[in-house]
Structure 1
């Protein structure tokens, strides 16, 4: 009996130690926008430390993990319900900002609003245009003497805007440079592709 218990303890210790191998593999398929790999790894190890210790069995881990996911989902539902009953006012007169206001949670909308406010520091200049495809240079003043420059393309036929800074691709929100171009083009509504769940 004691030999069997020793084997089980060894297997559970192996599970705990092997976590450093299987956690990154398991999480490799998930999108982790805004999070670097080291930060992501630290975050995941911290997350899993809540559920598994050296003395946890696999069954205990699964139960604790399920409980945590349920708790997280409940918090998200409560947050969504609170967002549904309150409205954050728009920071600008942009109809695109109003479009985002109606579809995003408060947390996401605040991030979008920061980009709309940042448009104030942008100067947009058309450099090339042909058959509905335009190329812009957007200068952003980041200090009294420093301008960062970004290339932004706009396809009016496909209703697609793309900025060199890749903020949308990494964080899922349109950047101030793209918003400046959309404003320059007098676009009043963005394509649903720019509204992520």
Structure 2
């Protein structure tokens, strides 16, 4: 229990040390503002950078809801496929990998879909305080 307390304390100290540091944003559809800690923001940026390894293909579309297959190259000739659902009316996106649901970070697969759909801003529901 003490170890977990120390880890949290170290993270807070790191964020306090980084408070006045400007971190360049990897994309224009996400503004750092004051909603992310530096540590979380770096993880989010890594997802934006990782989407360059993704190829997005629309597979089905019905009444504002679209289904996409996102193929991600993870190593030389190794590819993983992910299914992403995008609801343009509700501005919701959901990936089968469930990274957002488990770690509260929007993963590269829906980010790739949002880019494919030419969405200019990430919905505030995916930017957590």
Structure 1 length normalisation: TM-score? 0.58
Q: Answer 1 or 2: higher relative contact order, Cα 8 Å, separation at least 6.
A: 2
Matching residue within 4, 18, 22 for 1:87: 22
Unaligned 5+ runs, structure 1: 1-43, 49-67
Alignment of 1:168-183 (within 5 A): 168-183=100-115
* Alignment match, 1:143: 75
SS of aligned partner of 1:149: strand
Matches within 5 A, 1:1-197: 44=1, 47=3, 72=9, 76=12, 79-91=14-26, 94-97=27-30, 99=31, 101-102=32-33, 103-197=35-129
CA distance in 1, matches of 2:95, 2:108: 9
- More strand per residue: 1 or 2? 2
Q: Which has the larger radius of gyration?
A: 1
Deviation at 1:47, TM superposition (A): 4.0
Q: Displacement, 1:180?
A: 0.2
**Alignment RMSD, CA only?**
2.4
- TM norm structure 2: 0.85
Shift of 1:96: 2.1
Paired residues, what number?
127
More helix by share: 1
